[in-house]
Amino acid sequence: MQKKSAMFILLAILCVIVYWPILKYPYVQDDWHVLKVVLDSDGQTPLIAKLFPEGQMMYRPLPWLYFALVTRFTGIDPSLHHILAMLLHTCTSLLVFLIVRRLGQKEPVPTLTALIYLAALGVHMDPLLWLVGTYDLAAAFFFYLSIALFLRGKDFWSPVAFGAALLCKEAALPLPAILFLILLLNRKETLHSIVRRLWPHVLVFSVYFVLRNSSSMPLLQVSTNPYAMSFSVARAFESVWTYLRWLAEATVPLVKSTALMSLIILTVSVLLAVRAGAVLWNRDSRKATFSVPPDFLLWPAWVIAGFLPVLFLTDHAYRYYLTYSLVPAIVMVLWIIGQVIRLFGISHRHEGIVLIGYAIVSIGFSTAFLYMQDAERWRERPLSGTNRLIGKASEVMQVQNYLQDNQAQIARHSVLLLDGLDGSLFGGSLGPQVWLKDSTVRVFPSSWAIRVGDSLLIDEKNGKQVRVGLGGVHRLEAEMEGGNWTGKIVGRGATLSP
């Protein structure tokens, strides 16, 4: 118990150090759809509707209960959410520690795996930055909780946690396959015991499958919706290659993201895996240079299983999809480093020192990258496979500050025209209406407006047109310098030509 408490404290401290810059950022982009539903004065009906699959594009009811609670208490202030998100991520990392230790890995591997997992910036930055990241954070927590309970023989509560993970996000679907691999590679398990322990998870999977297929976007959809799939070998190969490259970056941040560097890492991994396979069949394996655990094949198989829900997606590829493959990838990297060290005859004690040094460098580079992104947020250099949320949240923050500083000049029924700013990042009219406490304020891109005499004609792109007098129009322009936004907003009158 003392070991778990000490580990939780260590993880919590590291989480605060790594992700401290995130605490100041506001809600952004998709968050405002959630806020609109929850803050609606008659919001009970749409909120209750989220608990049932009918008519829902994605059936993820549990996070909506959280959205309702945190928004009712704090409104649009994201501070409480950021703190709770970091706490949840810390708890998930503690579960990672317990799982890796239970699966037979000796120290310092369980501790280092949990620490590297927690600080894997490319994978966790997006989920921690925005409210809708709760889908991923909560699903990951229940996913790893289910595995931890299963390894402790809690065969009733493990499928319950699995069901909770699915009700947060469908990305948790590979869990039964991973549990099957764990049992299959445990030579004490028989076919009967495997079936007996896994049938509740299969039942939960089946019930969820039925519920999800009654939504407006069933699983395994091969249509033109945003999450359509293409079941082809080429699509699968491209996805696996992309995700393996991103895993290499998440676990070995010193390596620059190029196909060549990724190929070198993967080649070394394959060679070591082949050598390990040879050792497994060697009766004198105790004398071999390589030390291979009996369940070695679990880790690469787990990596691939974690890709399954997103393997065939045609239009979506994000680093946070790696949440369910990251843990075995880290264990494999630590194992590879250990085997390379042993090739040089380094003692086990010094091997631990090298692994700890690798973890410190990995975590340090991830932390430095986030702080650098935060310092240069107006000229953010985003990672591929992320949503560029630091730059977007910074834009929201500047628009909010500008409007609140100039609130006295913005009368009721005013129209805000945006030039070089993206209104979708703060819900169009919703953000300014909440910030200014004025539901009559409306927001449009300046490209939608045409000056007609002493008024503006605004095409709302939905078949409607709005005519407003110039006196109630405020134009917000992003100040540019050398093609880059300076982070400043310039307010002007309606300067459109007739």
What is the DSSP secondary structure assignment for residue 437, as one 8-state letter? T
Helix, strand, or coil here: 256?
coil
Instruction: Tell me the pLDDT band of 249, cut-offs 50, 70 and 90.
Output: confident
Question: Using an 8 Å Cβ cutoff, are 85 and 15 in contact?
Answer: no
Percent of the chain with pLDDT over 90: 30
| pLDDT at residue 314, rounded to an integer | 74
Contacts 24+ apart (CB under 8 A), 155-162: 155/197, 155/200, 156/200, 158/200, 158/201, 159/200, 159/201, 159/203, 159/204, 162/201, 162/204, 162/205
Give counts: helices (H), strands (E), the chain. Answer: 18, 7
Cβ proximity of 191 and 141 under 8 Å? no
* Per-residue pLDDT at 146: 97
Q: Is the pLDDT of residue 287 over 50?
A: no
More confident residue, 397 or 214: 397
DSSP per-residue string spanning 438-463: -TT-EEEEGGGEEEETTEEEEE-SSS
Q: How many other C-beta atoms can be found within 10 angstroms of the C-beta atom of residue 353?
A: 13
The answer to whether the beta carbons of residues 296 and 280 sit under 8 Å apart is yes
Q: What is the pLDDT of residue 234?
A: 82
Q: Give CA–CA dist 435/457, Å, rounded.
A: 26
Q: Which amino acid is at 346?
A: I
Q: What is the pLDDT of residues 75-123, one digit of tens each?
A: 888 999 999 999 999 999 999 999 999 998 888 999 999 999 999 988 9
Identify the pLDDT of residue 22. 93
CA distances from 9 to 2, 251, 358 (A): 11, 23, 21
The answer to whether 366 touches 326, Cβ cutoff 8 Å, is no
Q: What is the average pLDDT across 411-429?
A: 84
How is residue 206 written in tokens? 């089946």
Query: pLDDT at residue 220 above 60?
Result: no
What is the C-alpha separation between 98 and 96, in angstroms, rounded? 5
Give residue-wise pLDDT tens across range 455-478.
Answer: 666 766 655 666 666 667 778 877
The residue among 394, 454, 385, 324 whose CA lies nearest residue 22 is 394
Q: What is the mean pLDDT of the chain?
A: 80
Question: Between 13 and 372, whose confidence is greater?
Answer: 13
Q: Give Rg (Cα) of the chain.
A: 25
Q: Where are the alpha helices (DSSP H) in 185-232?
A: 191-212
What's the pLDDT score for residue 497? 39
Is pLDDT above 80 for 383?
no
